[in-house]
Amino acid sequence: MKQKLFVLLALFVVASMVLAACKPAPVVEKPPYDEVKFAPIKVEAPDCEYGGEFKSIEAVDESTVKFTLCYPDPAFPSKLAFSVFSIQDTGYLNYFTGDSVKMSDKPNGTGPYFVKEWVRGDHITYEANPNYWGEKAKIKTVIFRWSEQSAQRLLELQSGTADGIDNPAPEDFAAIQGDSNLKLYPRPALNIFYIGFNNTYPPFDNEKVRQAVAMGIDRQRIVDQYYPTGSSVADNFVPPPFNPGYSPSIKWYDYSIDEAKKLLAEAGYPDGFEVTLSFRNVVRGYLPTPDKVAQEIQAQLAEIGITVKIEEMESATFIDATSAGQEDLYLLGWGADYPDATNFFDYHFANDNNKQFGTLFPDIVTEIKAAASLSDPVARQQHYDKVNELIKLHVPMIPVAHGGSATAFKANVEGAHSSPLSNEVFSVMNNGAAQLVWMQNGEPSSLWCSDETDGETLRACEQVYEALLSYKVGGVEVQAGLAEKWEPNADLTEWTFTLRKGVTFHNGVAFDAGDVVSTFVAQWDAASPNHVGRTATFEYFGAFFGSFLNAPKP
């Protein structure tokens, strides 16, 4: 009998060893924490009076997550597909207390690539994830490099040291299209470049001053001189394809030096004033030549008596400063994260966490929030028409251009593309080699993006992490991601997601519904020990879903 038990025990040990050997090895080091075992969990606001969209988030079972909202949200799937809401392993999140800087040293996602190394100031090396649940990456190694100089990026593409580049200069489009070794991929102009004001700083606390500056900017000249084919002068903050959202009948102020001077005099500045215009010299689809446009605006405002000092700032510092409300006049822009007007309006003009324009305008906020909760496009448009009227009246910013842009690749790169959301996917590309080099405009700020807004940073994260839903490659349609299906109730206040099974994080830990709850609660709940990020601002969450739970009282 003992001999039989010994044999059975030996067989069990051998079988366990075989199973362990068959389990895929983690591709990144697992920190010294205990894996968090799944248990049903529900995090809930006591009521909806706190001002946010979320009423509760519940891990019903290992493969089911339910979001209950305080009001209907027809754009909810599009929002959840955005990479800022990519899912993180609960234990990993707890171990690093949600600190984006610490998590960036050893990124841990579920995506088709993992980070082999990040040499600050030089490059990021991605390696294909052999344990990926979906279609495996076609190229083993992808290297991200960066240069703010479009001429440098093009030179590297032409010389063969890069396989693809972002935002070639407008004047280089024709040369790329005329080179049989290269291919240009135009990107639709789902963006806005604007001149921003902070209304808490004099003289921009005066509405007439902001209106005068709006009349003193020749937007058509800026587009004609500094933008490529496919660009247009902006009359609204949202691009024309956004319907509801765009109001074709509402036109921006006409350019008039005389009217601008007259209004400045009425505001108490007959002799003008001095001001600093801040910007970052980083090429974007919405602003292809930042330094030249800054100089053009300086010259135009001089014509109405405003003396402008130009201040160039480092990219991350600039973004943090504008978001915190520390810059009174600046150049900035926005590219679509998802195809709905809420992405433009809610983030910028109804978001307490984004202080770039100073004090919010209550009448604009009221109309934006009313539109966001409606599913009927006609009813939404009526509110958005009012929003566009009020933006013209209050002038929190000057809409200048919807900028055409592009990516460019070697002609032999199969699957190369540009995305209207600037979230190009490198796992679908194949150049017939073991390595592909991509050059973008700037270095990422971090490699965990829950608390980031910069496009260069988001694209870097998107190769590693995945959200519940995703966007079609090169498009804007929402499709399955870590959730294989999703279903709302009739009034769009409950959304239930069924998760994929067999997904693991790069550190080998299994993905489950608890990870979804933990990831969202780290952003939603200001009292969570993981509500840290890089700046603890979590702008996108606030813009998309309103106030934080347990937010400190002002």
Q: What confidence category does residue 1 fall into, taking pLDDT thresholds of 50, 70 and 90?
A: very low
Residue 260 has pLDDT above 80, yes or no: yes
Mean pLDDT within 270-280: 97
- Do 248 and 329 fall into the same domain? yes
In tens, the pLDDT along 415-438 reads 999 999 999 999 999 999 999 999
In a domain, 550, yes or no: yes
In a domain, 6, yes or no: no
pLDDT > 90 in the chain, percent: 87
pTM here? 0.82
Neighbours of 294 (CB within 10 A): 22
- Do 172 and 274 fall into the same domain? no
- Token couple for 72: 């209907």
CATH code (residue 372): 3.10.105.10
Distance separating alpha carbons of residues 389 and 382, to the nearest angstrom: 11
- Do 268 and 387 fall into the same domain? yes
- Do 413 and 492 fall into the same domain? no
Q: What confidence category does residue 543 fall into, taking pLDDT thresholds of 50, 70 and 90?
A: confident
Q: What confidence category does residue 367 fall into, taking pLDDT thresholds of 50, 70 and 90?
A: very high
- Do 429 and 375 fall into the same domain? no
Mean pLDDT within 145-163: 96
- Do 369 and 220 fall into the same domain? yes
In tens, the pLDDT along 298-332 reads 999 999 999 999 999 998 899 999 999 999 999 99
Measure CA of the first residue to CA of the last residue in the chain; give whole Å: 74
C-alpha dist (Å) from residue 484 to 364, 419, 467, 478: 37, 23, 11, 12
The last residue of one of the domains, among 372, 395, 418, is 395
CATH code (residue 151): 3.40.190.10
**Measured torsion, CA atoms of residues 265, 268, 272, 273, in degrees rounded to the nearest 10:** -170
- Do 390 and 497 fall into the same domain? no
Our count of domains for the chain comes to 3
DSSP string of 321-332?
Answer: HHHTT--SEEEE
* Of the candidates 282, 269, 365, the residue with the CA atom closest to the CA atom of residue 317: 282
- Do 57 and 200 fall into the same domain? no
Residue 455 has pLDDT above 60, yes or no: yes
Distance separating alpha carbons of residues 197 and 279, to the nearest angstrom: 13
In tens, the pLDDT along 340-352 reads 999 999 999 998 8
Q: What confidence category does residue 373 fall into, taking pLDDT thresholds of 50, 70 and 90?
A: confident
- Do 183 and 164 fall into the same domain? yes
For helices 207-215 and 257-266, what crossing angle results, to 10°? 170
In a domain, 356, yes or no: yes
The sheet carrying 435-440 orders its strands as 113-119, 123-128, 141-146, 435-440, 164-166, 405-410, 182-187
- Do 91 and 80 fall into the same domain? yes
The last residue of one of the domains, among 375, 395, 415, is 395
In a domain, 135, yes or no: yes
Asked if 514 contacts 59 with a C-beta cutoff of 8 angstroms, the reply is: yes
pLDDT > 70 in the chain, percent: 96
Mean pLDDT within 194-218: 98
Q: What is the pLDDT at residue 120?
A: 96
Residue 251 has pLDDT above 90, yes or no: yes
**Element (H or E) spanning 380, and its range?**
helix 377-394
Q: What is the pLDDT at residue 23?
A: 63
Query: What is the SS3 assignment for 83-129?
Result: HHHCCCCHHHHHHCCCEHHHHHHCCCCCCCEEEEEEECCCEEEEEEC
Mean pLDDT within 215-228: 97
In tens, the pLDDT along 18-68 reads 444 456 789 988 778 888 999 999 999 999 999 999 999 999 999 999 999
Q: What is the pLDDT at residue 326?
A: 97
Q: What is the pLDDT at residue 32?
A: 80
The last residue of one of the domains, among 464, 489, 510, is 464
In tens, the pLDDT along 86-144 reads 999 999 999 999 999 999 999 999 999 999 999 999 999 999 999 999 999 999 999 99
In a domain, 11, yes or no: no
- Token couple for 103: 């998590």
Query: Mean pLDDT of all residues in the chain?
Result: 93
Q: What confidence category does residue 2 fall into, taking pLDDT thresholds of 50, 70 and 90?
A: very low
- Do 212 and 292 fall into the same domain? yes
Q: What confidence category does residue 289 fall into, taking pLDDT thresholds of 50, 70 and 90?
A: very high
- Do 410 and 516 fall into the same domain? no
In a domain, 151, yes or no: yes
In a domain, 447, yes or no: yes
Q: Domain containing 458: what range? A: 111-188+404-464
